[in-house]
Copies of this chain bind each other. A is one copy, B any other.
Amino acid sequence: MPASYAYLGPEGTFTEVALRTLPEAATRELAPYVSVQSALDAVRVGEAEAAFVPIENSVEGGITTTLDELVAGQPLMIYREVLLSITFALLVRPGTTLSDIKTVTAHPAAQPQVRNWLKAHLPEAVWESAASNADGARLVQEGRYDAAFAGEFAAARYGLEALETGIHDSPHNAQTRFVLVGRPARPAARTGADKTSVVLWQRDDHPGTLRDLLGEFATRGINLMLLQSRPTGAGIGHYCFCVDAEGHISDRRMAEALMGLKRICLQVRYLGSYPRADADTAELGGRFPGTSDEEFVAAAEWVARCQDGRF
């Protein structure tokens, strides 16, 4: 049996496209699942080697379904992330022209991204929601609707053609971040432009508790990239925090920050350290005075020498 990657299906969606950008995906069997939960459960029970799911996008922020699955249940770990710019193509049956289009379809999440384009180019078209963008394309193929918003890559699969590409309303390129999640094992190797994900539960609740947690990162020169509160299940107003921080658990500053959090938090769940998908544009960590590995090592050696009376 070949190793397989579970992913949030169906086939022909942005998730699959993002997954296929990972070199290791080429040598795995890729299996679509109907939900984030089922894909992650496939990993937990050993049915899949890893799962590939969306975790953050520029419209919704942290994707709570995915975060909640990682926060609770049997521990999982993130090994890779992929950033995908989301732009839509308008897919039609060959021969259809813009003036032929009376009905358009796509997953509801696509609507905010194409609203302005629709208003400008197809103000009369009626919108019908589909279960997924891929499913919308299939319904156009079947003749149920005239056009579907989907990834351009979906055209070939459904025998459609793209009347228009690069559609996105946001002035900023809409992006989705996906992660490859597996059972706990040794984290991905440090690359120098990495990210570490943890979940933090506060020990108590007084003014400054959360500030002090964040201080464990701040005083060691570590930037935060995501801070998403999620209910703990203990009732309204009780939250834990999903945090993405700049750096790798092998970085001395990160290891010490995690130790600090472990000591002052009620609970910490480590979700992995992995290469940043935006490593090309990222500034390297450890660039604040006193936070490089070399400075941590030198400081530890100095304390050891003091403990021996040699300095």
Contact = CB atoms under 8 A, between A and B. Distances in A.
A307 B256 CA distance: 12
Contacts of A62: 229
Interface stretch (A24-32, A93-101, A135-143, A220-228): A220-228
Contact residues of A: prevailing secondary structure: mixed
A263 B61 CA distance: 26
Interface stretch (A8-16, A39-47, A202-210): A202-210
Interface string A172-210: 110111000000111100000000000000010111101
A213 to B, nearest CB: 9
Contact of A233 (B64, B170, B233, B241): B170
23 contacts: A57-B236, A58-B231, A60-B231, A61-B229, A75-B311, A171-B233, A172-B233, A172-B234, A184-B311, A203-B289, A207-B217, A207-B218, A208-B214, A210-B227, A212-B219, A219-B260, A225-B237, A226-B239, A227-B227, A255-B307, A259-B303, A263-B295, A264-B289
Interface of A: 56-62, 64, 75, 77, 83, 170-173, 175-177, 184-187, 203, 205-208, 210-212, 214-231, 233-239, 241, 249-250, 255-256, 258-260, 262-264, 268, 270, 288-291, 295-296, 298-300, 302-303, 306-311
